[in-house]
Amino acid sequence: MSKSTSNNFSTIAVALTLCLVCSVLVSGVAVGLKPMQDANAQLDINKNILVAAGEIDGAKVTAEDVDAKFKNFTVKMVNLKDGTFASEEEITQAGIADVTAY
């Protein structure tokens, strides 16, 4: 009977060790790929803005094309109450430090 208990213990120990090693590897890869995911998310947002503005065709565009076209845009905030562009003072009061990141 003690042989069975020892065998069960070693099986559980191997399974736990394998789970721990795999979870550490997956976590490391996720952390390592985070900057690339963020860059791709921003690229997708920029691409969608350009497609909505009619500047590019979404199906036939590269990342370089999106970056080049998006550099030509001037980002401005609009005051929705009166339909005018928001002034620097209004933007600062709203707590927005960088309009392009908003």
How far are the Cα atoms of 33, 34, 52, 74 from residue 56, in angstroms, in the given order? 28, 27, 9, 17
Strands 84-85 and 78-79: antiparallel
Give the pLDDT confidence of 33-73 residue by residue, as tens digits: 999 999 999 999 989 988 888 888 878 888 898 898 888 87
The Cα–Cα gap between 58 and 52 comes to 9
pLDDT band at 5 (very low <50, low <70, confident <90, very high): low
**What is the pTM for the complete model shown?**
0.61
